[in-house]
Structure formats: C-alpha cells, structure tokens
Amino acid sequence: MSKSLLIVESPTKARTLERYLGKDFIVKASVGHIKDLPGNKLGVNLDGEFTPQYQVLSGKKKVLDDLKKAASRADTVYLGPDPDREGEAIAWHIAEEIGAEGKPLKRVLFYELTRKAILEAIEKPNELDLKLYEAQQARRILDRLVGYLISPLLWEKVRAGLSAGRVQSVALRLICEREEEIYAFEKQEYWTIEAGLCPHREAALLNPQEDASAFSAQLLRFKNKKCTIVSQEEAEKHVKALSCAVYSVNAVEKKQRKKAPSPPFITSTLQQDAARKFHFSAKQTMSIAQKLYEGSEIGEEGAVGLITYMRTDSTRLSQDSTQAVREFIANRWGDKYLPSKTVAYKSKDTAQGAHEAIRPTDVARTPEMMAKYLSREQANLYSLIWKRFVACQMTPALINQTTVDIGAGDYLLRTTGSVIAFPGFLTLYEEGKDEAEDGKSEERLPDLAQGQALDLLKIEPRQHFTQPPPRFTEATLIKTLEDLGIGRPSTYATIISTVLEREYILRTKQRLMPTELGMIINRLVSANFPDIVDTKFTANMEKDLDEVEHGGRRFKNLLNDFYGPFVKSLESARTGMANFKAAGWPTDLECPRCSKPLTIRLSRSNGAFLACSGYPSCSFTSDYERDEKGRIKPVEAKEPEETGEVCEKCGKPMALKRGRFGVFLACTGYPACKNTRTPSTGIHCPREGCGGELVSRMGKRGRFYGCNKYPECKMIFQGEPVRQSCPACNAPVLFRKGSKTGSSTLFCINPSCKFTKKEKLEEEEQAKDG
C-alpha cells in the first residue's frame, strides 16, 4: 500500500505529527534548512538579476539522501515547514532537491499541532507560495550584500573577523545613541514636599503611623502656579510656611474608570513580557516557545502541541478558541467576568492575516495541569501565554479613583487614591512594566468632603535628581524596533543575539550597553553608510519586503533599487573610511611619556586600549575606562607578575598579565616581541601518547580547556582539569564543572566511565565543622 510523505523541519514536530496521522503517512524532518548561500563567498550574481547560488549545507547530504529515498516511495509529498517566510524557503529548497517530479507536491501550514488543525491542514493543502519565497530570498540577499561587502572594509580598516549586518546595525545605532544621551545628560536637582494629614480632631496630635485615617499629599501649586523647587534653601522656605498653614479640603473628585485587558500575545509582546517577568532573553523565549509549539509529552496523551505558532504579528483569534475560552471563564469565575460578546483586537496593517495570536491550543490544559510535564522555564512561559489569552476575553477591571485637592493658604496640595471596585481580568493577569514608576503607589484615602478641616501631622521635604534615559533592556529595544517598523516577528531575537555574539554590545544587569568595539563600528558604519543605519530607510525596506510577499513588487526590482546607491557608498567608503587599524581612534589625551596624542587601538585578544600615536618611537600603552560622562580615563598599569617562564621566540622573561578574557602570558620584550600565550595548567593532556599540556582558552561559548599542541592535538574540554585520577577507572585527569549556585561537580571524561562526585561548598564544610 502506497503512503504519503510529510516533511517538516523539526524532529520534535515530526514525532508530534506522526501520532495524529497514523500509518498512511511517513513523517520526516529536514532538521532546519538544507540549502543556503555559500559561507566562503558572496554567492549572489551582481548582474542585475541577483541570482542566489544556493548550496546544500555541509552535513545535510545524509538527511537529503534519506528524504529522496522516502520521496521515491511515496505517492504524494506534503511539505510542512513553519508557516512563514523562512519555512517557505525550506519548503522550496526541499522541493528542488528531493526529485519528486511527476508526483503531487503539496504545501501544508500547521498553525497549531492539534488533531483538528493537523487533519484540516492535510485535507486542505496549498501550493508552494512563490511570492512568500521571493520575499525571503530578497531579505536573505539584502543581508548578504550588506554583510559580505561592508565586512571586508572593516577587516581592512579596523580588525580582521569583524562584520556588519543590515538590521543589526540599526539596533546597534539605537543602543550607541542611547549611551551618548546618557553621557550628555546633565542631572538637575529638584525637591518635593509631602505633608502627612488627617481629618481635624479635637484630640491631641496623633502619631501618623497609628492613625488609620492618616494620608499624605504632595505640594502641587504656589499662588496658582506650578511649584518647582530647585534648592534646599527654597524647600525649607516652603516647609516653614506650610508648617504654619491651615489645611482644608478644596475639592473631591470621584470617578470610576475601566482598565481593559491587553490583547493576546504576538511575538514581540511575548518577548517583552517574558523579559520583564522572568528575565528571559528574546532568543531564550523563542526557543522555549518553539518547544511548546512543536509538542511536549503529556502523560497518556503523548506528544501534544501546547501553543499556536509563535512567530506572528496578528492578534486575531479563531472562533473555536474564543468560544472555548468564554465557556471556561463562565464556568471558572461566573458570568460577571464574561463580556456580553467576544472581544476582538485590531492587528497592525502589516500583520499576517492567516496567522493567529499566540495562545494555548486547548484552554482546558491549565498551567497547573501542565506544570508536572514541563521544565520550570516551559511552565512559566506556558502560564504567561495561557493567562494572557484567557484574560483578553474577560471583563475590564473597574477602579474607583479619588482625587483630593487641599488648600493651605497660598498653597495647593493633591493626593490620589484608587480602589479596585471589580477586579475583572486582573483576577488572573496584569501586564509587566518596563520601568519602576517614580514615587509610591496610590493609597487608600479616608472619606473626605469639600470644606473639611485637616490637621497637619508632619511635613517632609525630599531631594531628588533628574535621571538620564535608561539603557535599553531586550524588552524595551524590541518595543522600540517594533514601533519604528524595523524587523519582523522572526527577526527580533536574531537581531539582539547577533550583536551580543559579535561583542558589539554586552548585557549587564539586564541592560544593553555598547562595548568600545561596538561604538567604533557604529561610528564608522554611520559615517560611511548612513542609509544602512537610518531607521526610516530600514522601516521602508521592511514595507518593500511585505510588498514582495503580497505581489505588489518584484524582488529583483527591490534589490536593484537598493544596490545602485549602496555600491556608490561602498566606493566612497573604500577611500574615505577612517583607517582605525593604521591610526587608531583619536582622543583628547596626551601621552604621559612624550606628550603626543593618545589613540584607542584594538587588540584581538584583549580588547580596546590606549596607545601613543608616536609608536614605534614611544611604546606607551594603557588600559582605560570611561567615567559617567563618557570621558576616557587611563587605568594605572599594574606591575606584571614574573612567572619564571622564558619566551620561546626571544628568550626574555614572560610576565603574567590580565586581559578581558582573563590572564595570559606576555613577553616582557614587547613591542619588539609580541609573543603571548595562555598559561599552562601543568596538567598533561589525557590523550594517550600526546605529551602536551592543558591550557585555558576562550571561545564564543566561553572558557574551555585544550591541548597546547593544537592543531596537532585537537582535544578540548568544557570543564576545568583537576590533577586527580579517577577512582573508578584510573583515568589520569578529572574535570570540574561549576553551577550558578556556586557548587561544583567532579566528573570523568572516559565515555565508558560514569564517575561523578559533587563537591561541597566551603561554607557547607565550615558549617559542618562548626
């Protein structure tokens, strides 16, 4: 009996689909893309046609052979990669390579992996979408042109190994500009005055902490003008006058307002709320969401897709899902929490109409029920998605808000209090905030009436300083990119992770700040390729790509319109871009040895440093740091630590120095001899017959240990080597791996030995001894 073949991109997704499709289908996974542009050349013909030169990816030949064999035995081939531009490209490339000519070839779109959705997609397949594929090709080629044609300039002018990206350069510019705003910010002093009050009483003065009717009000106006206080002297003058004033209620305004729930999640808002509430990176959020979409093992149910497709900018909800959630709300909380009709949310004009918002596939699978089947991170994200979806179909909250104006001679004070009269959707969910609100939250107020006399309990002046704009978090950067029309649901996470991986920015306390390298790259790219980092230009390019997707524009015309001006910028940059590698980046500092200007230079291993422009006649160098205004301050050099080791190139002593990747050995004959190497651990490489020693190294994924005989010996280890043999198999070396809690574990790397031993923390040992 003949069978149909369904090809998806993920093995997890394939397992989930197999469960529902039964014996009539063979389900295979391409494991992502099978073809891409070559990694060692541009791979695009620059003849006006912009034909891409796709190649089968290294390591995918076996996967492709398996797909071809399965296709040859199938009567119909269904292509089911993700329902977006990237998924469409995977589907086209599979179709081109599997050799299924003469057989029905169908495109199926799975927006959720539930029995009903899967069977409906199979019953109503589509044709491959050429316009969607061309939109993906256009984006890929645009990114390749920018990356492969600007990057060599950076290698020549700055440092080898650097790269520039089309949309990533805009994100870098935003982060660098924010840093410049922070440097330029001049803080201003201001004061507020807060009075502690209570309704007038004949009794003696009460302690405000013991009086349930006490409340506070803030000074607002003086002689009918806004009261702005900029000095302590001025504040004390007002405090003196207010201490003697007679207080009474001028006006009481009571009103009820509605607080409506937020729309269901789209990609950007999910990334933002997950960052605020769980400190997830955008990349981490998408990775967790992908697993929830593709399917999790749920007890006897087996593999089940728990959420709808997570790359979407549409807030649309299906009729089935809203009907189910309305029934759930009525059963769980009652009719007063259920609006009279389904709540609909307007999507952006550019939103993908066929997509839904991100929601649970079955509202009956509550977070409490699913928690035991999921990791903590998965459970947190699923709970967030479930609650936001349910809340979006609940009634608004009703909030009673009271504003009281208080007269005190020439002064007007104001206090505001609010009480939730009906919680509505707030029973379940409230959206997180990006920044902590200034001041304190609104308080409960006593029942006050116009003309009522008040007693002053205390009066307190407070000094404040205006604050600079905050650095971006991932959440606020994604929101800014979205507001500017830059990027799309599938690109936000990649944009941020790319500039982080390139070390153009770093994340510190959840904030994104540019590195010295990032600021240098931004200045060079901004000066020489202003269109590339222009937010309006990039946003318009996104609109053009959307037009290609919807058939309103040909992708080759789009590329030609971009490439003409871009080539002119390239030609200008080749001669006009500052040569950082040759001259460094100028500063206003003088060399302490010869008074010539100091410049910023880059070391591939140790980052940015100060160097005298008079080199080689003056070899002064220094690390540096920036103060709060961005001014460069040289860091006093520490005396290098002698090690007793000798430079193998010139015979001079080697000294221990510290760089941004940790300690390293450097020849004291610098700059005549620039030899450096990693300090040896003194532990022999465990590879039999090698004779080398293990040394610490830094890579993209952090610190690792390798043999100093590389490339002859390519042994690498993720743990720290310990001079101790394995008690189980006598292997000559054990390795140590730490955890975030500070504990560590010893383990053996012998594949046939499973020895591990948890090492106790020093504090635990001391407590035990005590």
Distance CA 379, CA 78 (A): 32
Where do we find the tokens 């319109």? 561
Query: For the stretch 293-305, what's the b/e string if a residue is b when 16 or more beta carbons lie within 10 angstroms of its beta carbon?
Result: bbbbebeeeebbb
User: Among residues 258, 251, 264, which one has the least CA distance to residue 322?
Assistant: 264
Distance CA 620, CA 592 (A): 8
DSSP class per residue in 712-756: T---EESSEEES---TTT--S-EEEEE-TTS-EEEE---TT---E
Tokens of 660: 């941004």
Q: What is the four-CA torsion angle of 532, 537, 540, 541, rounded to 10 degrees? A: -20
Distance CA 56, CA 746 (A): 41
Burial of 202 (C-beta count, 10 Å sphere; 0-12/13-18/19+): exposed
Tokens of 287: 């990775």
Which of helix, strand or coil describes residue 81?
Answer: coil
Query: What single DSSP character describes residue 229?
Result: B
Q: Beta 105-107 vs 189-199: how paired, if at all?
A: unpaired
Contact 281, 487 (CB under 8 A): no
Tokens of 750: 């012998």
Q: Beta 453-465 vs 189-199: how paired, if at all?
A: antiparallel
Tokens of 351: 């939103």
Task: List Cα–Cα distances, 685 to 451, 647, 718, in angstroms.
Answer: 87, 22, 14
Phi and psi, residue 559, nearest 5°: -65, -40
Q: What is the side-by-side strand order in the sheet with 585-590?
A: 585-590, 597-603, 607-612, 621-622
User: Among residues 289, 182, 192, 296, which one has the least CA distance to residue 238?
Assistant: 192
Which of helix, strand or coil describes residue 531?
Answer: coil
Q: Beta 74-79 vs 3-8: how paired, if at all?
A: parallel
- Of residues 293, 309, 337, 705, which has the active-site annotation? 309
User: Among residues 395, 433, 401, which one has the least CA distance to residue 261?
Assistant: 395
Our answer to whether residue 309 is catalytic in this structure is: yes
- Residues taking part in catalysis: 309
